[in-house]
Amino acid sequence: MKKYISVMLALIFVFSFAATASARLVGDVNSDGSTNSTDALLILQHSVGKEADINEKYADVNADGAVNSSDALVVLQISVGSYKGDLEVEDEIKTSFKKDVVDPIISSGTFTLKTQTTVDGEVAVATTMLRDKDLCIETTAKGITVRVLTLSSKTYLVIPDFIMPGVGVYMKYDQQINPTIGDASGARYVKSENVTVDGEELVCETYELDDGTVSKYYFKEGKWVMLSVTENGETTTQKVLEIKKGVDDSKFSLKGLVDISSKK
Ligand SMILES: [Ca+2]
Ligand SMILES: [Ca+2]
């Protein structure tokens, strides 16, 4: 069964970033930043079989499937300001990075996902490990490492270096923690687009669940670098530092830890 992780938890915080979709000018077939008679001429030359240095994908300006004088006419209308349609369009691209890069690891059911957020200017790193139905989320913030562990549906809070380095404690945690790990087969592909995030060119794939949850997967050169999940109007964004199959089994053990659950 495919598993879907829409992260995460009160431990994980939100940071904001600026993402802009890249747009292009309609009819700018030579990509020089303006739509003018040069573009119209290039389209005409191309349409009569002459070699023209154009982006063919953009040359079908009226999107009727053919490149011909009708497209050149539209470009001329744009250049003289008499065109009524959109002058800029989103540069849409189809990819399947999520399917190829992310899904095989997530659906394996045993994986490690290392993410990073920034809280009040401080970097917080979280490592999420799923081992079948058990989950471990380890965060280090301000030098303190904390682990939230679920083992056979019981939740524990572990502070591994509480007493001294290597000597830790744990307590049973009454509060039910529900990281959203569910069936992702209902996630519907919405679109892919080129976006610029903090000056970096990324590919963004958007997926939506029936309950309205929107997940955006960002990739740089095929590598998964960021995830943002919007649920009930709240967006959580995390940088992805690492994703791989397998977990560190020692993180799922309470062995050697002092149980302080009963002490109030
Ligand atoms: Ca041009
Ligand atoms: Ca056309």
Express each pLDDT in 108-143 by its tens digit. 889 999 988 876 677 788 898 988 888 898 988 777
Q: Which domains does the chain have, with CATH numbers?
A: 3-20+95-252 (2.50.20), 25-87 (1.10.1330.10)
For residue 210, the CA-to-ligand 2 centroid distance in Å is 37
Burial of 40 (0-12, 13-18, 19+ CB in 10 A): buried
- 98 CA from centroid of ligand 1 (Å): 34
pLDDT of residue 70: 95
Which ligand number lies closest to the CA of residue 27? 1
CA 132, 134, 137: angle at the middle one, nearest 5? 120
Distance of CA 43 from the midpoint of ligand 1 (Å)? 11
The answer to pTM > 0.75 is no
Q: Say how many Å lie between the CA of residue 165 and the centre of ligand 1.
A: 64
- Ligand with smallest separation from the Cα of 41: 1
Of 75-79, 162-166, 226-230, the range with the highest mean pLDDT is 75-79
Secondary-structure breakdown of the chain: helix, strand, coil percentages, each rounded to the nearest 5: 15, 45, 40
Whether residue 227 has pLDDT greater than 70: yes
| Cβ contact 161:167 at 8 Å | yes
Give the percent of the chain with pLDDT over 70.
Answer: 84
Ligand nearest to the CA of 33: 1
**From the CA of 27, how far away is ligand 1's center (Å)?**
7
Rounded Cα–Cα distance for residues 216 and 115 (Å)? 15
Q: Give residue-wise pLDDT tens across range 129-179.
A: 988 888 898 988 777 888 988 888 788 889 998 888 878 999 987 766 555
pLDDT of residue 182: 41
Give the ligand whose atoms come closest to the C-alpha of residue 65.
2
Highest mean pLDDT among 12-21, 22-31, 212-221: 212-221
